[in-house]
Structure 1
């Protein structure tokens, strides 16, 4: 990469990161001039690099997804808990990313629908990698499992912060995010590791009920 192109990339990244922080604090009504001031650039450079405010937001979405994908993949392929504990020790650094995601879900619209679909696709990919690594169990329907987990994670987060953080000042969000993680980590790990139901009778009854149940994970579906 030439020095000129490297400088262009660095400037675009600085604008994108400033936009994530500003959108996280104020919502998507934040103006381009404020974002430009945060990034230390002229407002015209935002249009130069991203074309429009929606283009900037798409770039922010892509960065948020990349960070989430990287951290989830690390946790779910390690298998020892070491990576999880390291992430828990530094959870506050992810507060701007999480607040941006919350703002997106609260805003609704086409952009967040696309963001969530990308989250689900990423989840299916890293869950598949974790299956191959022997860290998680296979699923009868990997795509449905990934979608359920994404809905569960985002829905619980929106509900928790609606109940506990609706009136919080921007500088309080990192502490609130720490509290959210502390509240949910143990029950989530317990549920995902040890399960909830004492036997499989409900699952078996459901599989008998549905017209065309998916095959059990690992079952040989080839014709005899």
Structure 2
């Protein structure tokens, strides 16, 4: 195992990446000593860069959330979304540890999990709004509710899939999941499901005062 010296500028990132891998694989009961041994650093170096274990966990949360935010930004800002999708599919293995960590963070529950979810929902709303502005995503009568629905249903499906999976390896589990959901997800997002607006229009009338104050949302 490579040993990181105290003066190595990559020490902090190596510790963080190792912690993300171990927390995702084995849960948040993993101790700092185990992380130090796996990263090839001293326990003191971890405390120097991150302090206590909960502070290292917070740094891992922030790093994973930032990477998720970056990925969402890329999806709505690229000039050639089809080409970008293929590039993302080719790099699936790199995302596996992040997804496994996210699954652990959300299933752990508590305030940290709620904050984690709130960040993902907020990020989703921001990038959906950007897609609406650039014309790649249809407007919504309630943008915030749509963002939350997409985030919660997407994450909920992923959590259930992982809970029922027999795969122990993060990369194998992630690849199996994406193979199952990519086609139906893209189909639903691109073509929709219902062939007319009757159910939506009926419900908007039922609300009497729909979000945004205008029940006449743009059609296809």
The reply to whether TM is greater than 0.5 is: yes
| Partner secondary structure for residue 131 of structure 2 | helix
Q: Residue 135 of structure 2 aligns to a residue in which SS?
A: coil
| Residue number in structure 2 paired with 1:40 | 40
Contact 1:22/1:30 (8 A) holds in 2: yes
Summarize the Cα distance change of 1:90–1:210 in structure 2 as closer, same or farther, 3 Å threshold.
same
Partner of 2:202: 205
2:3 matched to which residue of 1? none
For 1:59 and 1:158, locate their aligned partners in 2 and report how far apart those are by CA, in whole Å: 22
Moved more, 32-41 or 88-97: 32-41
Equivalents in 1 of 2:161, 2:196: separation in Å? 30
Check whether the contact 2:22–2:30 (CA below 8 A) recurs between aligned residues.
yes
Q: 1:8 offset after TM fit, Å?
A: 7.5
Q: Trace 1:1-224 onto structure 2 (pairs within 5 A).
A: 10-78=10-78, 80-165=81-166, 168-169=167-168, 172-215=169-212, 216=214
| Cα distance in 1 for residues equivalent to 2:85 and 2:157 | 20
SS of aligned partner of 1:81: helix
Aligned residues of 2:93 and 2:171 also touching (Cα < 8 A): yes
Mapped contact 2:201–2:215 kept (Cα < 8 A): no
Distance across 2 between alignment mates of 1:86 and 1:122: 22
Root-mean-square deviation over aligned CA pairs: 1.9
Could you tell me which residue of structure 1 aligns to residue 4 of structure 2? Answer: none
Partners in 2 of 1:72 and 1:9 — Cα distance?
29
3-state SS of paired residue (2:210)? coil
Deviation at 1:96, TM superposition (A): 0.2
Q: Structure 2-normalised TM-score?
A: 0.88
The ranges of structure 1 where at least 4 consecutive aligned residues each deviate by more than 4 angstroms after the TM superposition are 216-219
Number of matched pairs: 209
TM-score normalised according to structure 1 size = 0.87
Q: Distance in 2 between matches of 1:179 and 1:101?
A: 17
Quick check: 1:20–1:96 contact (8 Å CA) kept in 2? yes
Mapped contact 1:120–1:150 kept (Cα < 8 A)? yes
Unaligned runs of 5+ in 1: 1-6, 220-224
